[in-house]
Every structure is written in C-alpha cells, then in structure tokens.
A and B are shown apart, each in its own frame.
Chain A
C-alpha cells in the first residue's frame, strides 16, 4: 500500500484563523515532507522530517509551523496566513531521506484558500 492520506481536502480560512493540516502514512516510511504548489508550477519544498526530527526548513515563514507527533503523522499548523498563501499543500513520504531510498509518494493534497 503506497498511500499517503491528507485531511482536510479543502480548507477556507480567514487571515486571523488558526487551522491545521494533517498527513498520515502507514508504509513505515521514516522521512516525511511538506510541499506547497501554486497553479501551473511544480511543488516547492517547505519542510523535511527524518525520524521525526525536522531536518530541513526551506526558509518558510513562521506562520507555518510543522509538527511530527510520531513516525506516521505529520501536521502543518497555520496561523495568520496571507491571501498569497492560498495553494495546494502536499504531503509526501519516503523510506528514508537518503538518496537511494528517496522515492517520494505524495498525498492528494489540501487545497487552501485564505480570504
């Protein structure tokens, strides 16, 4: 089973709201990722977790706060977002972060609209 699940599918929030995106995988993968994708653009890496520890933060604004409660779950906490943060947020996982095991499987994404 190569499935990564994400909830919710759609989210509309105001600039003062606090919300969270959730991602789950049961493939035993030890690396998990958050990406942001704007229309007609490729995914942009935001965060990488390896063995539940944050290993890469691609200079993402602090209004995005990742959390990895355990090896199967990844959250992205959102606070005080801007309209330009509206995008498709994708979660991915891979067996390991290292190159030979970095076959990344993506979830369906959460489509976020910030009003």
Chain B
C-alpha cells in the first residue's frame, strides 16, 4: 500500500464547475499538507500549505484536511481553462528530514 493515494484521473469538467481533488494517506505521522499545481513541462507551483484539520481558503481554492479520516481535499471554484494542469498533494511529518511524500498527481482538464 502506498503512503499516499491519489486518483490520477484524468478529470474533465466544464468551465465554471466546482472541482474536488483528493488524497488519502495511511500514516498518522503526517502533519503538514501541501497542494501543488504543475503545468506541462514546468515546475510544481505551491498552491496551499496547511497544518491543522479544517479548511483554508485562498481565492478560488480551498484546502480541507480531515486528520481523523486521513483525507485531504482541494476544491477549485468557478474552474477556468487555465486551471487545466496536474495537481499533486504532498505530505510530510515530524521527522525533520525535509522529505515530502507526493501523491501520483491528478490531471485536470477544464473545457471551455
């Protein structure tokens, strides 16, 4: 079993839809959670960084963490064609190694 599970998709939605991207994890030692967006042939861009359970909002993006269920989500409201990219969740715990554990990434396509 992988430490982090993420559905690779692809996920295709119409413009304006609400998108839900999810990761599940197995190790309760994970305490810090990140979402990255990666366009084709570019480096990952950090979208959200959260620690506690609950919601964190930034513009059209909301990150949700449920530590009791070991489940994290990224919601995108009013999705745009420019949101078409691969979204990676990344987790790390308290080991202080600096090592991130990545999900496989979900490919999102937003159709005009």
Residues of A within 8 A of B (CB): 2, 4, 6, 31, 33, 40-43, 45, 48, 50, 55-56, 88, 90, 94, 97-100, 102-109, 111
Stretch from B12-20, B57-65, B77-85, B91-99 that touches the partner: B91-99
Does B73 reach chain A (CB closer than 8 Å)?
no
Which residues of B are found within 8 Å of A106, using beta-carbon distances?
36, 43-46
Interface residues of B in 29-81 (CB under 8 A from A): 31-32, 34, 36, 41-46, 49, 51
Which residues of B are found within 8 Å of A45, using beta-carbon distances?
99-100
Question: Beyond A55-B98, A102-B98, A105-B46, is A42–B88 a contact (Cβ under 8 Å)?
Answer: yes
Are A43 and B34 neighbours in the complex by a CB distance under 8 Å? no
Are A31 and B45 neighbours in the complex by a CB distance under 8 Å? no
Residues of B within 8 A of A (CB): 8, 31-32, 34, 36, 41-46, 49, 51, 88, 90, 92-100, 102-105
Which residues of A are found within 8 Å of B100, using beta-carbon distances?
45, 102, 104
Which residues of B are found within 8 Å of A50, using beta-carbon distances?
98
Sorted from nearest, which 5 A-B pairs have the closest CB atoms? Answer: A42-B102, A97-B98, A106-B43, A108-B43, A98-B96
Consensus secondary structure, chain B interface: loop
Which residues of B are found within 8 Å of A31, using beta-carbon distances?
98
Are A42 and B105 neighbours in the complex by a CB distance under 8 Å? yes
* Docked complex Cα distance between A102 and B34 (Å): 10
Q: Contacting A43 at CB < 8 Å: which of B32, B44, B49, B92?
A: B44
Q: Contacting B42 at CB < 8 Å: which of A98, A100, A108?
A: A108
Are A111 and B98 neighbours in the complex by a CB distance under 8 Å? no
Are A88 and B32 neighbours in the complex by a CB distance under 8 Å? no
* Docked complex Cα distance between A90 and B34 (Å): 17
* Docked complex Cα distance between A11 and B25 (Å): 36
Question: Beyond A42-B102, A99-B32, A102-B32, is A56–B44 a contact (Cβ under 8 Å)?
Answer: no
* Docked complex Cα distance between A50 and B98 (Å): 9
* Docked complex Cα distance between A43 and B99 (Å): 11
Which residues of A are found within 8 Å of B105, using beta-carbon distances?
40-42
Which residues of A are found within 8 Å of B93, using beta-carbon distances?
99
* Docked complex Cα distance between A58 and B92 (Å): 16
